[in-house]
């Protein structure tokens, strides 16, 4: 890990190329990240980011859907990516020797999709099917609803869109959306693993240098006027409980203290939530807290699933744990949290795909890449004092809560 | 990168695949036991026991176990399947001694009463969790019916009734029979010290008494059947299928994996073009699950209830065409190249290699390196895949349809209530690999 090298290059059209060379790697992983998430899609065609991403693989450059798929498979590419709230990502991992060829095909997919009219109906139906499947996936449904009420504005959108929006999509609307939002200004290409840096610059300039356009400024996240409790009725075997509150973002001086605090809550099976909710009381199989960052806002999400008759006890124990967090963490808890975060950093550094995703995300949210040494130092500098100061400044409070199950809970905000 | 192996006098095998350039190491105990080794009245005991193994030993409390893993910053968990129970952790190399001390101590648990009663509640929550996941319910029911009441079809989680009624001494008996050193393997991957590991594990585990654990291999009578479970609370039709597959010991097991990927891999497969591309289903996948002495092909499709019959007939058409016309070389070359690259990429991390190394040894008594695996995959031919189809595995197809659908395949209005038309109800069926502890 200590030997990785981070390099960046900016093309004239505004596209950022970021990279991390990992010695000994046999693979290379890449992400092409455009700022074309649900956040900036036209409201009347909600879901168009997902449909557009899908359609890009159904015809691009001189290839049709089957030729694209077959070529990617022949190159041994493990495909990833998709449309999310803030971005649409085209991602892959493959044996390092074939990277140039892969990037050439992805340049067609991202820059020159043919958007064939005879493929739109299939892409539309697939999007509608995915929307319907959420209703049979209570946990996914819970988090979509939690985001929707936590961010009353466009940050609360689901990348899956809406039935009405998906039905309103036309080839023309997608073409104009592609022209407006698949642009180099604000886009990022990240590569991690084994590659030749000079050749990568040359390849990127050749394939993406003529790309034109600049992304418009996305709206800022807004959580004012958010609702605090919502119940969704389902005759499910478990009551799903989801909870969110504001947290600092990665550019804040409290950032590493905040990550230690979340780790103390939920970093392992010895962490507070698992110990109190599951090990001592047997209330759940699954309980966790995890951070989420969008540009301009951070939040913490908590999940627990319990049988309906124990829903109130489960929520009460969760809230008690969150509210006592500002009382401080012990030296032992700090040491365990630090060990967990540091070893996660090392293990992430062993995976090209994980690093390609991490450096693209850093570039997107921070406009720069945090070298692993900086992250390590940030984690090591946290003390029990700095954690407590952070929690006094930003205590877990003002929760937004969603439950999904047979009965609502009673929510007592402070 | 050669394989290291040593078997202690009591039968415990230690195997290792070293990688000196790794930044971490992983270790795991692979116990050759799971739901197929249970009797019906203790259904779910393997998985419940897996949870109890974290609940302390003669020298550790339950809190100590969790705390020590966290102190090392370990990535750790355990899982139970039909025939394996695995406990693993990945750490920085400096923690090798502590990790092996903890894992080997855990393999001789206290199984205390108060922990047993409390953990039972957690298992019942886990059963409830999977009741809300119809895709797992459907696939597990298909597997259960396919194995036709033999232990091979038992549920990993068990049911509310069997787990609720389980007693601690029944678990202790099961533990004593199954967790014998000859039935266990410790696998190591990444950057570790082999000699130190062997010395430490010999001292910690060398005194465990051995006895034969054994395993039944019931005769299977392939059957064809369709089972519709009407559940009006659901929004989608969940279709699951099962058919006879190949065992892990069958030299053709890799060709069976390639065949499954060609027919039903998540992208670019025949099912993909038949069902996903036109937007008839949002998931349509077929897989091959190799097992000890037997294996099965499984499939899962999620679609609109109104399209369920059409989707099923297109699925069958894909299987019929493949059986009739065989597999083309270009399909095999794409899938083997993609899968071989996937092995190399997945094998980058010690944790990513651990289960491949462990299961290679448990099933086949050898360990193939990433490159040997890739070479063997690239050697699979279209004729190998077609030969498997010529045995007509899909002629004995078990079909499960779960959703707001009547036995006649007509969709019913979505409302509350669940009914079943067949011999097996929906209680307690769960996914094949029932999650972490």
Does B69 contact A78 at a Cβ distance shorter than 8 Å? no
pLDDT tens per residue across span A120-147: 999 999 999 999 999 999 999 999 999 9
Does B125 contact A305 at a Cβ distance shorter than 8 Å? yes
The torsion region of residue B156 among left (phi > 0), alpha (psi -120 to 50) and beta comes to alpha
pLDDT band at B407 (very low <50, low <70, confident <90, very high): confident
Cβ contacts (< 8 Å) between B126 and chain A: which residues? 285
pLDDT tens per residue across span A270-295: 999 999 999 999 999 999 999 999 99
pLDDT band at A1 (very low <50, low <70, confident <90, very high): very low
Cα–Cα nearest to B296, from B117, B49, B83: B83
pLDDT of residue A24: 86
pLDDT band at A4 (very low <50, low <70, confident <90, very high): confident
For A343-376, b where at least 16 C-beta lie within 10 A, e where not — what string?
bbbbbbbbbbbbbbbbbbbbbbbeeebbebeebb
pLDDT tens per residue across span A212-249: 999 999 999 999 989 999 999 999 999 999 999 999 99
- Total length of chain A: 414
The A residues from 117 to 176 touching B (CB cutoff 8 Å) are 121-130, 132-133, 135-138
pLDDT greater than 80 at residue B436: no
pLDDT of residue A76: 96
pLDDT greater than 50 at residue B433: no
pLDDT of residue B78: 97
Q: Give the torsion through C-alpha atoms of B305, B307, B310, B312, to 10 deg.
A: -40
pLDDT of residue B1: 55
Q: Give the three-state DSSP class for A64.
A: strand
Does A284 contact B344 at a Cβ distance shorter than 8 Å? no
- Model-level pTM greater than 0.90? yes
The torsion region of residue B127 among left (phi > 0), alpha (psi -120 to 50) and beta comes to alpha
pLDDT of residue A371: 87
CA A317 – CA A68 distance, rounded (Å): 52
CA A287 – CA A231 distance, rounded (Å): 19
Q: Which of B51, B87, B128, B238 is most worth mutating to test chain A (most A CB atoms within 10 A of its CB)? A: B128
Residue B405 is classified by DSSP as: B
Which stretch of DSSP H or E encloses residue B214? none
Residue of B nearest to A94 (CA): B341
pLDDT greater than 70 at residue B96: yes
CA A336 – CA A339 distance, rounded (Å): 5
Cα Rg of chain A (Å, integer): 22
Q: Does A283 touch chain B (CB under 8 A)?
A: yes
pLDDT tens per residue across span B234-280: 999 999 999 999 999 999 999 999 999 999 999 999 999 999 999 99
User: Which tokens in the block code for residue A157?
Assistant: 């959108």
pLDDT of residue B2: 85
pLDDT band at A83 (very low <50, low <70, confident <90, very high): very high
Of B131, B279, B345, the CB nearest to A123: B279
Q: Which of B345, B417, B436 is most worth mutating to test chain A (most A CB atoms within 10 A of its CB)? A: B345
Closest-CA distance of chain B to residue A239, Å: 9
CB A75 within 8 A of CB A98: yes
Which stretch of DSSP H or E encloses residue A189? strand A188-193
Does B132 contact A138 at a Cβ distance shorter than 8 Å? yes
Cβ contacts (< 8 Å) between B302 and chain A: which residues? 129, 133, 136
pLDDT of residue B223: 85
Of A75, A280, A307, the CB nearest to B128: A307
pLDDT of residue B426: 29
Dmax over CA atoms of chain A, in Å, equals: 62
CA B181 – CA A337 distance, rounded (Å): 35
Q: Give the three-state DSSP class for A35.
A: coil
Closest-CA distance of chain A to residue B70, Å: 6
Does B350 contact A350 at a Cβ distance shorter than 8 Å? yes
* CA geometry: angle B117, B123, B124, nearest 5 deg: 95
Residue A113 forms beta bridges with which residues?
A60
Mean pLDDT in residue range A302-309: 97
pLDDT greater than 50 at residue B424: no
pLDDT greater than 80 at residue A3: no
pLDDT tens per residue across span B347-386: 999 999 999 999 999 999 999 999 999 999 999 999 999 9
Cα–Cα nearest to B76, from B411, B338, B436, B329: B436
Closest-CA distance of chain B to residue A318, Å: 16
pLDDT of residue A413: 65
Q: Does A330 touch chain B (CB under 8 A)?
A: no
pLDDT of residue A234: 95
Q: What is the mean pLDDT of chain B?
A: 93
Please tell me which residue, B420 or B67, carries the higher pLDDT value.
B67
Of A29, A282, A341, the CB nearest to B118: A282
pLDDT of residue B411: 66
pLDDT tens per residue across span A168-190: 999 999 999 999 999 999 999 99
pLDDT of residue B427: 28
Q: Helix/strand/coil (H, E, C) string of A331-375? A: HHHHHHHHHHHHHHHHHHCCCHHHHHHHHHHHHHHHCCCCCHHHH
pLDDT of residue B406: 83
Cα–Cα nearest to A173, from A48, A34, A35, A88: A48
Q: Which of B44, B53, B132, B231 is most worth mutating to test chain A (most A CB atoms within 10 A of its CB)? A: B132
Sheet strands (E) in A35-134:
59-60, 63-64, 78-83, 88-95
CA A237 – CA A408 distance, rounded (Å): 14
pLDDT tens per residue across span A398-408: 999 999 999 99
pLDDT of residue B243: 97
Closest-CA distance of chain A to residue B402, Å: 12
User: What is A130-169 written as a DSSP string?
Assistant: HHHHGGG-HHHHHHHHHHHHHS-SGGG--TT--HHHHHH-
Cβ contacts (< 8 Å) between B401 and chain A: which residues? none
CA B66 – CA A270 distance, rounded (Å): 5
pLDDT of residue B418: 40
Phi, psi of A153 (to 5 degrees): -90, -155
Residue B31 forms beta bridges with which residues?
B85, B184
CA A377 – CA B173 distance, rounded (Å): 50
Mean pLDDT in residue range A22-51: 96
pLDDT of residue B314: 98
**Strands of the sheet with B281-290, listed across from one edge:** B281-290, B295-303, B237-245, B398-403, B225-231, B418-420
pLDDT greater than 60 at residue B414: no
CA A101 – CA B258 distance, rounded (Å): 25
Cα–Cα nearest to A190, from A368, A370, A13, A20: A20
User: Which tokens in the block code for residue B378?
Assistant: 């690239």
CB A78 within 8 A of CB A28: no
pLDDT band at B149 (very low <50, low <70, confident <90, very high): confident
pLDDT greater than 90 at residue B20: yes
Mean pLDDT in residue range A147-156: 96
CA A380 – CA A363 distance, rounded (Å): 23
Of A236, A267, A282, the CB nearest to B122: A282
pLDDT greater than 70 at residue B425: no
């Amino acid at each position: 890990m200590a030997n990785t090298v981070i390099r960046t290059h900016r093309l004239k059209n505004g596209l950022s190329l970021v990279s991390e060379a990992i010695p000994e790697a046999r693979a290379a992983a890449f992400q092409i990240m455009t700022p074309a998430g649900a956040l900036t899609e036209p409201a009347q065609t909600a879901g168009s980011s997902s449909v557009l991403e899908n359609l890009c693989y159904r015809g691009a450059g001189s290839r049709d859907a089957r030729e694209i798929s077959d070529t990617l498979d022949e190159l041994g590419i493990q495909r990833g990516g998709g449309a999310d709230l803030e971005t649409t990502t085209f991602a892959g991992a493959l044996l390092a020797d074939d990277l140039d060829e892969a990037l050439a095909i992805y340049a067609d997919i991202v820059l020159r999709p043919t958007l064939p009219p005879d493929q739109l109906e299939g892409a539309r139906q697939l999007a509608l099917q995915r929307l319907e499947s959420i209703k049979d996936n209570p946990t996914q449904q819970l988090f979509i609803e939690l985001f929707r009420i936590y961010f009353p504005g466009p940050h609360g959108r689901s990348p899956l869109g809406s039935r009405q929006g998906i039905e309103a999509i036309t080839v023309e609307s997608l073409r104009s959306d592609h022209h407006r939002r698949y642009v180099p200004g604000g886009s990022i290409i990240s590569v991690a693993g084994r590659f030749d840096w000079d050749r990568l610059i040359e390849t990127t300039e050749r394939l993406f240098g003529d790309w034109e356009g600049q992304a418009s400024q996305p709206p800022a996240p807004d959580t004012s006027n958010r609702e605090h409790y919502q119940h969704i009725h389902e005759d499910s075997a478990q009551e799903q409980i989801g909870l969110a509150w504001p947290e600092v973002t990665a550019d804040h001086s409290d950032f590493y203290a905040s990550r230690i605090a979340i780790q103390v809550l939920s970093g392992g099976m010895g962490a507070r939530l698992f110990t109190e909710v599951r090990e001592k009381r047997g209330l759940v199989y699954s309980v966790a807290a995890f951070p989420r960052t969008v540009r301009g806002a951070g939040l913490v999400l908590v999940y627990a699933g319990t049988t309906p008759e124990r829903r109130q006890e489960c929520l009460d124990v969760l809230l008690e744990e969150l509210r006592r967090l500002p009382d401080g963490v012990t030296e032992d808890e700090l040491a365990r949290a630090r060990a967990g975060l540091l070893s996660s950093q090392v293990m992430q550094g062993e995976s090209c795909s994980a690093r390609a995703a991490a450096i693209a995300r850093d570039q997107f949210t921070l406009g720069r890449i945090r070298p692993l040494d900086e992250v390590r130092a940030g984690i090591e500098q946290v003390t029990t004092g700095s954690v407590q100061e952070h929690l006094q400044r930003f205590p877990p409070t003002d929760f937004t809560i969603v439950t999904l199950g047979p009965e609502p809970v009673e929510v007592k905000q402070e | 990168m050669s394989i290291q192996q040593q078997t202690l006098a009591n039968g415990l095998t230690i195997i290792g695949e070293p990688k000196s350039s790794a930044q971490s190491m992983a270790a795991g105990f692979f116990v050759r036991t799971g739901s197929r080794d249970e009797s019906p009245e203790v259904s779910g005991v393997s998985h419940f026991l897996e949870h109890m193994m974290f609940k302390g030993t003669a020298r550790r409390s339950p809190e100590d176990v969790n705390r020590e893993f966290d102190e090392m910053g370990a990535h750790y968990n355990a899982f139970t399947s039909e025939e394996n129970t695995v406990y693993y952790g990945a750490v920085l190399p400096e923690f090798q001694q502590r990790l092996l001390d903890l894992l080997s101590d855990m393999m001789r648990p206290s199984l205390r009463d108060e922990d047993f009663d409390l953990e039972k509640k957690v298992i019942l929550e886990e059963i409830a969790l999977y009741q809300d996941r119809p895709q797992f319910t459907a696939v597990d029911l298909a597997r259960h019916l396919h194995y036709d009441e033999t232990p091979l079809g038992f549920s990993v989680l068990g049911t509310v009734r069997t787990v609720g009624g389980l007693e601690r001494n029944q678990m202790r008996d099961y533990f004593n029979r199954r967790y014998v050193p000859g039935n266990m393997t410790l696998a190591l991957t990444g950057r570790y010290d082999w000699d130190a590991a062997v010395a430490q594990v010999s001292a910690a585990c060398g005194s465990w008494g051995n006895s034969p654990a054994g395993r039944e291999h019931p005769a299977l009578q392939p059957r064809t059947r369709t089972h519709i479970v009407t559940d009006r609370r659901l929004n989608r039709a969940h279709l699951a299928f099962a058919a006879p597959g190949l065992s892990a010991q069958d030299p053709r097991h890799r060709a069976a994996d390639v065949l499954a990927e060609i027919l039903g891999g998540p992208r670019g497969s025949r099912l993909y073009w038949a069902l996903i591309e036109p937007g008839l289903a949002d998931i349509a996948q077929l897989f091959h699950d190799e097992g000890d002495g037997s294996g099965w092909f499984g499939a899962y499709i999620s679609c609109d209830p109104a399209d369920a019959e059409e989707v099923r007939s297109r699925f069958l058409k894909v299987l019929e065409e493949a059986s009739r016309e065989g597999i083309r070389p270009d399909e095999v070359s794409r899938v083997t190249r993609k899968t071989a690259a996937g092995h190399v990429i997945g094998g980058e991390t010690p944790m990513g290699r651990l289960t491949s190394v462990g299961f290679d040894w448990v099933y086949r008594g050898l360990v193939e390196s990433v490159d040997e695996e890739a070479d063997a995959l690239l050697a699979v031919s279209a004729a190998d895949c077609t030969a498997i189809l010529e045995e007509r595995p899909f002629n004995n197809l078990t079909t499960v349809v779960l959703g707001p659908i009547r036995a006649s395949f007509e969709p019913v209005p979505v409302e509350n209530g669940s009914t079943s038309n067949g011999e097996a109800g929906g209680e307690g069926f769960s996914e094949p690999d029932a999650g972490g502890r």
